[in-house]
Structure 1
């Protein structure tokens, strides 16, 4: 597999590149309790905690287990959020994405996930991609469906903020 630290993906409006420590303040500022309402993780309580999380993401990339990419607006390099493919060392990798509040409603999420899936299709061998999402998160569900995702199962879990998530797992095939 290629050096994941050198992955750089582009679409019409976006650049996706590996997360680096230089994005610590952006992630800390934008990964809020509102953004994580329908997600498993919770926001970090400090810049230091965010830095440690990003260091872990970089280590996972170096170990070829996860690829976390920042989403930047191509024309201004404005930080928009993060997308990732986790469990890349398995035959069932998992896609995920979050965008900062001001980036919602512009189609950036769909565009980023589409570009990421194309990279996955070209670079990973897999049986299917998993895309878990809370049933109430309609925009994220539409992203999964736009790349061919079909609901495979439903489940509930408590997220790290202590809230119940009512999830569906989409499976996406090549």
Structure 2
């Protein structure tokens, strides 16, 4: 079932059967350079299970990102509840398989998730965070209209937090 649809993509719930495809990004050392380690097969399966639990608990999580042309699985993107420093907030996250990076897919999916957070979930704000040195993810956050909010430490390194607000100025 499609949760979100954009011009080139649709997002649907992750399934355990997506493990092999999701491993192409979560188990890839280059794709996961800003994480402590690439994910093992077992950790990818737990990741999918965590998101399935999030769908039940919060009505959202990270969803499979499917390229409409060819029905190709290209990664995950969605909204999870994260502890960012001393706050628990809704956060947009994504992981796109390397061969599909730099084509605007992450930005397209993240923007759709931001709109979903405001229009469907009625969150007043949505956050994202990434390692300060993760310039590609920071660019996606900027492109979807997120501004710098604060910094905090995670995985032993400085993280930048961005926020977008649905509040009328």
**Which category describes the TM-score, using the shorter chain as reference length?**
0.7 to 0.9
Residues matched between the structures, number: 161
The answer to whether residue 155 in structure 2 is matched with residue 122 in structure 1 is no
Matches of 1:145 and 1:53, distance apart in 2: 26
Task: Give the superposition deviation at 1:77.
Answer: 1.2
TM-score, normalised relative to structure 1: 0.83
Cα deviations by residue, 1:5-63 (Å, 9 ceiling, x for unpaired): x55211111111111111011112331221111246x43223x4422331222112112
RMSD, aligned CA: 2.2
Match of 2:17 among 8, 16, 22: 22
- Aligned residue number for residue 29 of structure 2: 33
Task: Name the structure where strand makes up a greater proportion of residues.
Answer: 2
CA contact (8 A) 1:14 1:71 kept: yes
Higher relative contact order (CA 8 A, sep 6+): 1
Task: Decide which moves more: 113-122 or 6-15.
Answer: 6-15
Contact 1:71 1:83 in 2 (8 A): yes
Contact 1:28 1:43 in 2 (8 A): no
Which residue number corresponds to residue 171 of structure 1? Answer: 163
TM-score for the superposition, normalised by structure 2: 0.85
Q: Does 1:109 align with 2:106?
A: yes
C-alpha distance in structure 2 between counterparts of 1:128 and 1:72, whole Å: 26
Residues 52, 92 of structure 1: CA spacing in aligned structure 2 closer, same or farther, 3 A cutoff? Answer: closer
Write the distance in 2 (CA, Å) between the matches of 1:62 and 1:105: 32
**What is the SS of the residue equivalent to 1:15?**
strand
Report SS of the residue matched to 2:45: helix
Superimposed CA distance per residue, residues 100-142 of structure 1 (whole angstroms, 9 cap, x where no aligned partner): 1101110111001111111111112323211101222222111
Matches within 5 A, 1:18-97: 18-31=13-26, 32-39=28-35, 42-46=37-41, 48-64=42-58, 66-87=60-81, 92-97=89-94
